[in-house]
Amino acid sequence: MKCLRLISLLLFVALAPPTFAQGTTPNRDSAPNPTAQSVNEEALFKQESKIGGRITIPDDRAHMLIQPQGREWRQFHEVWLPWIAGASIILMLIALIGFYMLVGPTRSNYQPTGQRIVRFRGVERFTHWMTAVSFIILGLTGLNYFFGKRLIMPLIGPAAFGDFTQYAKYSHNFFAWPFTLGVLLMVVFWVRDNLPRRGDWEWIKSGGGIIGDRHVHAGRFNAGQKLMFWSVVIGGTLMFASGLILLFPLKWVDVNGMQLTNVVHGLIGSLFVAGILAHIYIGTIGMEGAFEAMGEGTVDLGWARQHHDLWAEEVVGTARREDLPPPPAAVRQRI
């Protein structure tokens, strides 16, 4: 009997609900509410400029979770920068098309002399085309960051666009080096001829001879070409410096510095593309004979006297006549 009583007592204790004991009943009203006790993100930002945490890995920068500038950078990168880049490029194209329709190309109404003088040496032409090709690839792959997911991804799909963007990034990083080398060589070859000289302001005021009928004097490079040269040198230097920081993230600057560098790189790149469009226009259909000068390296003496008379006289004055190549046979017959 005692054994049966003991077993019955143990079963009663085991099966009895916990509410029989005073003070052990959980109260839903007094239970903690995680949502009510949490801190609002905006309230945190009012107290601290950054939100961080504790980490156990050796990288001290990994503890930063949220910082307000990141939201500002995202707004600029995703909204404002594509608008700025798109507007600058489209407006430049509209301006060039309108200029061509109203004015047309600059004709070279000169009498061929049959004597050709060297305008650009082989190493200068190689530098120019190396820099030009590198810039075109840099410009296209850079614009992919602004417009790729808006224009290309809907056409080829996310997977193909991901592969395309990855190879575009590799190309962007690779061609940054020959572009920078080209800019440095341009400084070595052409900086002396691109220094400001007397008469540059007159060239600017007359629009290179478009405004008015009088002839505008120019050296080896006119004022417009000098402005383009210094734009490439200064812009290329800033692009390389900012690109180098982005290529090695968080090596020299913190997260805020990376975001600022990204803004600078994107803005300068957008304006760079728009400016180079004008350079391409002038070097191809905008001025007769300009493309041949960089393609072949020599120009007719008459063309040089029309567009760069000061430089032409300087070349002729320092060269012996026998050093000048003879005129072609067809020209000799006309002479």
pLDDT digits (tens, 9 = 90+) for 132-151: 999 999 999 999 988 999 99
In which element (H, E) is residue 312 found?
A: helix 309-318
DSSP code, position 198: T
Could you write out the DSSP letters of every residue in 226-292?
Answer: HHHHHHHHHHHHHHHHHHHHHHSTTSSS-HHHHHHHHHHHHHHHHHHHHHHHHHHHIIIIIBTTHHH
The vertex-203 CA angle with 200 and 209, nearest 5°, equals: 160
Q: Identify the residue with better confidence: 206 or 38.
A: 206
Q: Which domain holds residue 190?
A: 70-107+120-298
145 belongs to a structural domain: yes
29 belongs to a structural domain: no
Residues whose CB is less than 8 angstroms from the CB of residue 230 and which lie 6 or more positions away in sequence, other chains included: 194
pTM above 0.85? no
148 belongs to a structural domain: yes
223 belongs to a structural domain: yes
Residues whose CB is less than 8 angstroms from the CB of residue 81 and which lie 6 or more positions away in sequence, other chains included: 146, 263, 266, 267, 270
Q: What is the CATH number of the domain that holds 91?
A: 1.20.950.20
136 belongs to a structural domain: yes
20 belongs to a structural domain: no
The pLDDT of residue 38: 57
The pLDDT of residue 332: 37
Res 177 pLDDT > 80:
yes
Q: What is the pLDDT of residues 190-245, one digit of tens each?
A: 999 999 988 888 888 887 766 666 667 888 999 989 999 999 999 999 999 999 99
The three-class DSSP label of residue 334 is helix
How many structural domains compose the chain?
A: 1
Residue 65 — very low, low, confident or very high, per pLDDT cuts 50/70/90?
low
16 belongs to a structural domain: no
Range scoring the smallest mean pLDDT among 40-49, 163-172, 257-266, 269-278: 40-49
Q: What is the mean pLDDT of residues 22-27?
A: 50
The CA distance from 129 to 182, in Å, is: 9
233 belongs to a structural domain: yes
